[in-house]
Amino acid sequence: MDNFDLWLKECKVNNTKIFPLEGEGKTAFYKCWSEHLVKHNYIRDTPVYIGWVDGKQVCAFTNYKVLCLVGKTKKKGGGQMADEKLFENRIKKYFHSVGIYPAGYPSDRMDAPMVGWYTKIWGGGFQKSGIPDLICCVNGIMLAVEVKASNGRPSELQKLNISRINKSGGVGIFLYPEGFEQFKKFLEEVIDCNIHIQELIVLKNANLSTKCDIWKG
């Protein structure tokens, strides 16, 4: 049971009414109100707007305009942030199906042989802005994915970072829903590519020491 599930349980206990505004499930914005909120210094007649991403609470405000600003979404024009997170969840689901797992994922829950690792980057107040959403290592290849909704536009800082990743020999990608199938084909080629592996193993073995240790577990 994660924080989102605990929140739903608490809302039920306190008779808190919740109304989804954008998104769904554990990645969405909710409007909620109850008598219980008075105990937490909220005005009785003012609802609270709470944003969740992948089961983690990312913001809570009594002013919906502030929530819109933080979530990079507007009542008019659709929920860009929600769309990006829903697409990101599709990518993660696909990653799992081919053996690419998030940091700290339990070995006994891996359904496919592991071929890659990734971690989620939180921009803004969580981590440095402009870093791609998903940082991955797949079959020895560094892969960085900046997830975009269909109407999303990359910032200049995002363009700079993706460009530098590619110039450094990694693979940096701006990924839109319309390009997902093409991305899958590309990733399949990366997983099947073994040309660089033997040379990489030789380099690793030649440079090991107690002060420069490639930990193998």
155-182 pLDDT, tens digit each: 899 999 999 999 888 899 999 999 999 9
Could you state, in chain order, the average pLDDT of each consecutive group of 10 residues for the chain (217 residues)?
A: 85 82 78 64 60 79 51 44 80 96 92 94 65 93 92 89 90 92 91 74 63 49
Q: Which CATH class is domain 80-206?
A: alpha beta
pTM of full prediction above 0.85? no
How far is Cα 56 from Cα 17, in angstroms, rounded to an integer? 19
Range list for CATH 3.40.1350.10 in the chain: 80-206
Say if strands 48-53 and 27-33 run parallel, antiparallel, or are unpaired. Answer: antiparallel
The sign one gets for the Cα dihedral 58, 61, 66, 68 is positive
Burial class (CB in 10 A: 0-12, 13-18, 19+), 78: middle
The DSSP annotation for 102-171 comes to ETT--GGG--S---EEEEE--TTTTS-TT--SEEEEETTEEEEEEE--TT----HHHHHHHHHHHHTTSE
User: Tell me, what's the pLDDT at 21?
Assistant: 75
Cα–Cα distance list, 214 to 46, 92, 138, 173, 186 (Å): 55, 27, 17, 27, 28
User: Tell me, what's the pLDDT at 66?
Assistant: 45
